Structure 1
Amino acid sequence: MPSKLKFVVRARRESVAPSLLPVFVLRTDNWDDYGHQVQFHLSYHDAKSTITHLGPVKILQKKSKDGEPVLLASATDLEDSFSELGAEYISLGQEDDYYTNLHTLLGDQSSDVLVALRDIAWRPALATDFEPTSAFRNAMMRENGAHRARRFGRAWAVGEPANEEPAFTYIGSIEGADANVEASFAFKRKDPVPGRIVGIIGRNAVGKTRFLASLGADLAQISRTSAEKLIEREERFPDGRPLFTRIIAISYSAFDRFKRPLPDSSSSYVYCGIRNDKGGLSRAYLNETYRRNQERIRERGLQDDWIEYAQTILGDLSEQLMSNLKAEIDSPTTTTDDQALSLLSSGQSILAHFVTALLAWIQPNSLVLFDEPETHLHPNAVASLFLVLSEILGKFDSYAVVATHSPVVIQEIPAKRVLVFEREQNLTVAHPLLLESFGESVTELTRHVFETIEVESVYRRTLKRLAKSESAEDVLARFDQGLSLSAEAYLLAQYGKKEGKNK
């Protein structure tokens, strides 16, 4: 790299003259951040015209003079060429890779570029005058990637790991409840006991779905917001708001509460489900979303991963059907009627949608919010889904919160990472599970965790009624295969109660 830096500004497809090399190129971007156009893409062109893409960067420009109320340009205007930005500018990379790529390319000299661009991760004090503005809140700091960059960019630029702790506490609101619900998420990356998934369980109507939706909205800035709202949001994370690169909200229920902004490759929040952006249900929308997610997988070069996970999650498929799925992920399709997806069962289709959406959007340090993964699925399929989810989280160093009614899910999560939501009248509370769930049998979890033993079921009601008019032998004779031990014990207990009453 030359001793004196050179930067040039070019349109997206505009060429760079060989006489300018080597040079850093800032390409303009017409992306609109709530009325602000401040995004550029930085790359380095060396003397041999080899291009190294470094990543997106947002640059703010102050138009007001010192002593005047701060006024920022709605569209940042840069000189066609410069060696360093003036005092009226600040910049911030928008992704982890921006800083790690700089270090890979330049080593210790990466700081020279950050100083020249007045980067606020490198020199935090430069942000002081800009922080009160809407452009700073809603443009430069719009995405979680920007918040991560501001906190960890300096470490990444010098080749040091960021000191990140994924565990956090959240105080969420549930509509209709008299008080907020405080819950702690004890994620731990290197725990030998599975530490990347936290489960939420509870009866219907305790507020699990609403809580999950509230958490997703507060973990990522989905819409334009005021300074006051940002302060209120931060207060809902008493130990500090975790900065996940992306929040992926997944639900295949028609009644989910997740927000549904249109997906975009730079967004820190993505909704993956069966409802369109207007809340409706449409097969055409599902097919289009599936194809779009396949295209993202191809762009990311994850076709082999998709095939591996699809084979695991879909189980035994015919060779022809698996061949069709492989061909489909390897090359674009333009029709909707002859897709291999249409040959799958409804449950298999849900699984295919899940693995495709997750691989399309997950990034390192993402958080997946999955509402009732057991919806539409056989218990064996739930187990396969959970296995694939765990593998993908590990591969991408990411985490998940799963709200569920399924003991098949809970038996894969240690009790210290299972939150039980309970509601008394208008008050919902969250507390840790008191029975060790990890590896416990589905039967025991069903009895002790999901409390079905306390609920009048069809079989209990039937056995209780029969015991009133028939002998135990006559009732047992009605079942050709015999009753299970638990059902027979329940039946015999009815005769014990009858004898007790007659004494």
Structure 2
Amino acid sequence: MEFKVLTVDATVPQLGRNTVYLKKDNWNDYSYVTMFDMSLHDANGNYVIVGSIKIAFKGQTTSVSTFSTLDKSFTELDKRYFSLGNSVDFYKAMTKLNRDTRRTVLTALRDIVVQPEIIQEITGEDVFGTSLLRYHSLSVVKGQFARILWGKAELTEYAFQYRRPEDSDVGSITMSFDVSVDVKPNTNVHAIIGRNGVGKTTLLNGMIESVNNKKNQGFFLDKSGSPIASDYFSSLVSVSFSVFDPFTPPADQPDPAKGTCYFYVGLKKVGIDDSLKTLQELRGDCIKSLVACFGAPGKVDSWLKAIEKLGSDENFSRMGLHQLESVFRAIKEELSGTSQADSQIFYDNYYRKALPYLEKMSSGHSVVLLTITRLVALVEEKTLVLLDEPESHLHPPLLSAFVRALADLLHDRNGVAIIATHSPVVLQEIPKSCAWVINRVGKASVTIRPKIETFGENVGVITSEVFNLEVDRSGFHDLLAASVRSGKKYEEIISEYSGQLGLEGRALLRSLVETRDQERAHDAS
């Protein structure tokens, strides 16, 4: 296979065989110029437009474009170079070729999807993280791109646990999370529900710290019970608009070459205790996210789809927010050839014209627009999204629409979300297999699945199912607590009740017994 490098204004030959054409594209990623438009004639003379590919080399700086270093014709790149298709569509287009041709072409270009072993050689290269991985993580490269290239399914199943050992303040807890492919309702959104004060927010904060490799007792496990690999999640997005959450969000970590990325969406200023963003700063976050969505391949449709879903709330629908994308396109055409979408000039122009749409929004509508826009911009394959009580700013119809829009986005991107909530509206949008009810009795934490199916159930029925335990606590709970104080073992107490103890009672009993035994052991030492 012969490769020919063409200038921007060159014309691709109409006829040819076994020839790949790499036409220069002047697009730059923060001053790195690595992009080419790739097409080819196969062995039979068929012409295939493949799409954009980025080619870089070791030691590359912003002052040297890849185009300037390539021979006008070659059969394969030398070991200095490495490449990556610019979007999932590139690898879909490659599937039009037979398997051998795919491998031959991409191997000659030292594509890291076909040759993932190259990644270890280039993780320290700035051009790798800044240009080639600008819109994609290593998990996407190794997962989705590879699956598509070889004709495999784009979606994968999840099966993981979060485990928090007991400490001096709270008891141990273990929760499992499973996502199945191609099931209805989809299982990409999970919820932890319980009354205020049971520790939902603390659980989410522990999950954030465990992924960010901070000192934290909690940890994620895979389905075999082993700690998850460092690239199990490509990124973690934490969403919280609570003013009272004591958690101080860590700095964003956007470089996929360094491992799991981390992004915070919310009111707080990153790394500054008890400091909140101003309204102007929040609007700035929203504008930046809109630009990121509209300027990235494949994300415009995702954003428009999410806005349409949120439009089931009549007030949200009336705002005409889909026009924000039209405004973006108009400015892009106006500034074509002078400024790119990530330039300050473009941003200032877009901010000025988009601001009137944002100024007429209520706080709840502003929160949901910022959140869904940031998520569209950030969520990709194997992203874990943690949301803390979204109902704090959303009325029930908008909350329901938001959960549905989130579920659709996660299904499209093969991501997963865990929502901490006290709203039955969230459970109404997910099956009971995706819901955990958490209760706290003193130090002990008890987690159970709802006994009823929650998806599409009446909100009143769900409320009774989830929160009715509080009414009964003076009954069976006191009986079990008295049995535990007597010093009997778990099995002895079960026998004492002649086996007539339900699942919820057994879970509570086991937690109370474990807490008692651990406290005794601690006192003895």
Normalising by structure 1, we get a TM-score of 0.64
Q: Structure 1 residue 405: deviation in Å?
A: 0.9
Q: How does 1:16-415 map to 2 (within 5 A)?
A: 23-24=21-22, 40-44=34-38, 53-56=51-54, 61=58, 79-81=69-71, 82-87=74-79, 96-104=88-96, 108-123=100-115, 130=121, 145-151=137-143, 153-161=145-153, 164-171=156-163, 181-216=173-208, 238=226, 240-241=228-229, 243=232, 247-255=236-244, 257=247, 258-261=249-252, 269-279=262-272, 280-299=276-295, 300-302=299-301, 304-305=304-305, 307-313=307-313, 315-316=314-315, 322-323=319-320, 325-332=321-328, 333-335=350-352, 339-363=356-380, 366-394=383-411, 396=413, 398-415=415-432
Q: Structure 1 residue 311: deviation in Å?
A: 2.2
Alpha-carbon distance between aligned partners in 1 of 2:166 and 2:327, rounded to the nearest angstrom: 44
Alpha-carbon distance between aligned partners in 1 of 2:205 and 2:24, rounded to the nearest angstrom: 38
Q: 1:310 to 1:179 in 2, by over 3 A?
A: closer
Contact map agreement 1:54 1:101 (CA 8 A) in 2: no
Q: 1:44 to 1:406 in 2, by over 3 A?
A: same
The one-letter code sitting in structure 1 at the alignment partner of 2:3 is: L
Contact map agreement 1:312 1:388 (CA 8 A) in 2: no
Q: Structure 1 residue 176: deviation in Å?
A: 6.8
Q: 1:192 to 1:23 in 2, by over 3 A?
A: closer
Contact map agreement 1:407 1:442 (CA 8 A) in 2: yes
The one-letter code sitting in structure 1 at the alignment partner of 2:266 is: G
Q: How does 1:488-499 map to 2 (within 5 A)?
A: none
Q: Structure 1 residue 326: deviation in Å?
A: 4.8
Cα deviations across residues 22-43 of structure 1 (Å, max 9, x unaligned)?
53368799869xxxx9994453
Alpha-carbon distance between aligned partners in 2 of 1:174 and 1:39, rounded to the nearest angstrom: 52
Q: 1:328 to 1:115 in 2, by over 3 A?
A: closer
SS of equivalent residue, structure 1 residue 438: coil
Q: Structure 1 residue 402: deviation in Å?
A: 1.2
Cα deviations across residues 436-460 of structure 1 (Å, max 9, x unaligned)?
433444334334423443689xxxx
Q: 1:84 to 1:399 in 2, by over 3 A?
A: same
Cα deviations across residues 274-298 of structure 1 (Å, max 9, x unaligned)?
3344553210011112223333444
Alpha-carbon distance between aligned partners in 2 of 1:126 and 1:317, rounded to the nearest angstrom: 47
436-445 or 192-201: bigger deviation: 436-445
Is 1:417 the counterpart of 2:434 in the alignment? yes
Q: How does 1:423-462 map to 2 (within 5 A)?
A: 423=440, 428=445, 430-450=447-467, 451-453=469-471
Alpha-carbon distance between aligned partners in 1 of 2:93 and 2:167, rounded to the nearest angstrom: 45
Q: 1:392 to 1:175 in 2, by over 3 A?
A: farther
| Partner of residue 3, structure 2 | 5
Contact map agreement 1:28 1:41 (CA 8 A) in 2: yes
Q: 1:263 to 1:142 in 2, by over 3 A?
A: closer
Contact map agreement 1:187 1:195 (CA 8 A) in 2: yes
The one-letter code sitting in structure 1 at the alignment partner of 2:386 is: L
Cα deviations across residues 248-291 of structure 1 (Å, max 9, x unaligned)?
43222234545452879999544332334455321001111222
Contact map agreement 2:35 2:54 (CA 8 A) in 1: yes
Normalising by structure 2, we get a TM-score of 0.62
Alpha-carbon distance between aligned partners in 1 of 2:136 and 2:354, rounded to the nearest angstrom: 38
Q: Structure 1 residue 433: deviation in Å?
A: 3.6
Alpha-carbon distance between aligned partners in 2 of 1:180 and 1:26, rounded to the nearest angstrom: 58
The one-letter code sitting in structure 2 at the alignment partner of 1:114 is: L
Q: CA RMSD in A?
A: 5.0
The one-letter code sitting in structure 2 at the alignment partner of 1:249 is: S
Contact map agreement 2:144 2:381 (CA 8 A) in 1: no
81-90 or 414-423: bigger deviation: 81-90
Cα deviations across residues 393-443 of structure 1 (Å, max 9, x unaligned)?
455554322111111212332222112344465665654344543344433
**Runs of 5+ unmatched residues, structure 1:** 9-13, 62-72, 457-503
Contact map agreement 1:262 1:277 (CA 8 A) in 2: no
Alpha-carbon distance between aligned partners in 1 of 2:33 and 2:435, rounded to the nearest angstrom: 41
SS of equivalent residue, structure 1 residue 198: strand
Q: 1:275 to 1:238 in 2, by over 3 A?
A: same
Give % identity: 25
Alpha-carbon distance between aligned partners in 2 of 1:296 and 1:106, rounded to the nearest angstrom: 35
Alpha-carbon distance between aligned partners in 2 of 1:376 and 1:15, rounded to the nearest angstrom: 50
Q: Structure 1 residue 55: deviation in Å?
A: 4.0
Q: 1:422 to 1:109 in 2, by over 3 A?
A: same
Alpha-carbon distance between aligned partners in 2 of 1:245 and 1:360, rounded to the nearest angstrom: 14
Contact map agreement 1:92 1:146 (CA 8 A) in 2: no
The one-letter code sitting in structure 1 at the alignment partner of 2:319 is: M
Contact map agreement 2:316 2:365 (CA 8 A) in 1: no
Q: 1:353 to 1:115 in 2, by over 3 A?
A: closer
| Partner of residue 475, structure 1 | none
The one-letter code sitting in structure 2 at the alignment partner of 1:335 is: R
Q: 1:410 to 1:180 in 2, by over 3 A?
A: same
Alpha-carbon distance between aligned partners in 2 of 1:147 and 1:265, rounded to the nearest angstrom: 9
Cα deviations across residues 87-108 of structure 1 (Å, max 9, x unaligned)?
4666666864553343357864
Contact map agreement 2:204 2:386 (CA 8 A) in 1: yes
Equivalences, count: 418
Contact map agreement 1:178 1:426 (CA 8 A) in 2: yes
Alpha-carbon distance between aligned partners in 1 of 2:361 and 2:191, rounded to the nearest angstrom: 29
SS of equivalent residue, structure 2 residue 76: coil
Contact map agreement 1:94 1:145 (CA 8 A) in 2: no
